[in-house]
Amino acid sequence: MSTLPKIAWIGLGIMGSPMAENLIKAGYTVAGYTLEADKLERLAKAGGSAAGSIAEAVRDADVVITMVPASPQVEAIAYGPDGILENARRGALLIDMSSITPQTSIDLARAAGEKGIRVLDAPVSGGEAGAIEAVLSIMVGGEQADFDAARPILEALGKTIVLCGPHGSGQTVKAANQLIVAVNIQACAEAVVFLEKSGVDLTAALDVLNGGLAGSTVLTRKKDNFKNRDFAPGFRIDLHHKDMGIVTDAARTVGAALPVGSVVAQLVASLRTQGDGGLDHSALLRGVERLSGYPTGA
């Protein structure tokens, strides 16, 4: 019989499904709940169990992990009579791996503490590929003892796992991460259009650029998206729009200027307004193409 903690996983989307499956591969017992029946079937086929409700999923869990799109969804699954806090046992550890506002994480930790439930905010970076390959970067906020208890679980999901400070700190670092990623993607997109319009072989150019100081994880992960105009969502523009709102609001609160980030936030918002919100964030290239006179529909 396994002595590993029992895990409840809430939210089985593009990131959540492969992450939950990696825990199953690592030997954990995982009960999952999500709104999409096909995602529950996928979890069951991978060796997990499908729960009929949040309450059913978390009732016997030692650890509850959540991975949902934004603060409203976290609040919806955490609070209320059918939520996590009313149904998880005292002493359980709640690890929220969603990307939400720092204040939402702070408020959740406070409310959970009143129920005897420990909380970590633990958003991730690495996209769908990082989730599948279990090489995510995980930035954590919370108490050291809870981080130490969670570390074996997190090590089944990622490679770079860091306690960044108290509750909300993980979300603050994730906001900074999303700022850097968006600016990087935008710069890469502009370089792609510049190179193409200059008549340079794009594959050769991106290969040599990625071997020097201009190289980045973004370029490594997204260069095929750029070359093939393949914008199947690994991380949707809609979600990056949400994240850019988080970082610009948080920066305003602490008095930090984001001159370049603010421009890129507007470019992300513009792309979303033009109907591209469901595409991968590498589709920022489409915005540069439009500004550069590419044919409509390019």
Could you give the CA distance from residue 177 to residue 250 in angstroms, rounded to a whole number?
13
Residue 80 is assigned to a structural domain of this protein: yes
Mode of pairing for the β-strands spanning 63-66 and 7-10: parallel
Tokens of 32: 């999952």
pLDDT at residue 295 in the model: 86
Could you give the CA distance from residue 283 to residue 98 in angstroms, rounded to a whole number?
22
Residue 98 is assigned to a structural domain of this protein: yes
137 and 188 in a single domain? The answer is no
User: To 10 degrees, what angle do helices 16-25 and 37-45 make?
Assistant: 20
Can 242 be counted among the known catalytic residues?
no
The values of phi and psi at residue 137, to 5°, are -95, 130
Could you give the CA distance from residue 26 to residue 21 in angstroms, rounded to a whole number?
9
pLDDT at residue 297 in the model: 56
Residue 2 is assigned to a structural domain of this protein: no
278 and 196 in a single domain? The answer is yes
Reported pTM? 0.92
pLDDT at residue 296 in the model: 67
Of 149, 74, 137, give the one whose Cα is nearest residue 111: 74
Tokens of 46: 């991978």
145 and 186 in a single domain? The answer is no
pLDDT at residue 2 in the model: 66
pLDDT at residue 233 in the model: 93
In DSSP terms, 124 is beta-bridged to 138
pLDDT in tens, the chain (298 residues): 568 999 999 999 999 999 999 999 999 999 999 999 999 999 999 999 999 999 999 999 999 999 999 999 999 999 999 999 999 999 999 999 999 999 999 999 999 999 999 999 999 999 899 999 999 999 999 999 999 999 999 999 999 999 999 999 999 999 999 999 999 999 999 999 999 999 999 999 999 999 999 999 999 999 999 999 999 998 999 999 999 999 999 999 999 999 999 999 999 999 999 999 999 999 999 999 999 999 865 5
Tokens of 214: 């201009």
∠ CA 105-106-112, nearest 5°, is: 85
Residue 296 is assigned to a structural domain of this protein: no
Out of 165, 187, 213, pick the residue that ends a domain.
165
Give the CATH number, domain containing residue 249: 1.10.1040.10
147 and 25 in a single domain? The answer is yes
113 and 178 in a single domain? The answer is no
Out of 128, 147, 165, pick the residue that ends a domain.
165
Of 214, 195, 193, give the one whose Cα is nearest residue 291: 193
pLDDT at residue 277 in the model: 98
Residue 258 is assigned to a structural domain of this protein: yes
97 and 152 in a single domain? The answer is yes
Out of 109, 135, 165, pick the residue that ends a domain.
165
Of 179, 184, 285, give the one whose Cα is nearest residue 230: 285
Catalytic residue among 39, 174, 223, 242: 174
Of 209, 258, 202, 268, give the one whose Cα is nearest residue 236: 268
Could you give the CA distance from residue 147 to residue 109 in angstroms, rounded to a whole number?
14
48 and 90 in a single domain? The answer is yes
Query: Domain containing 142: what range?
Result: 7-165
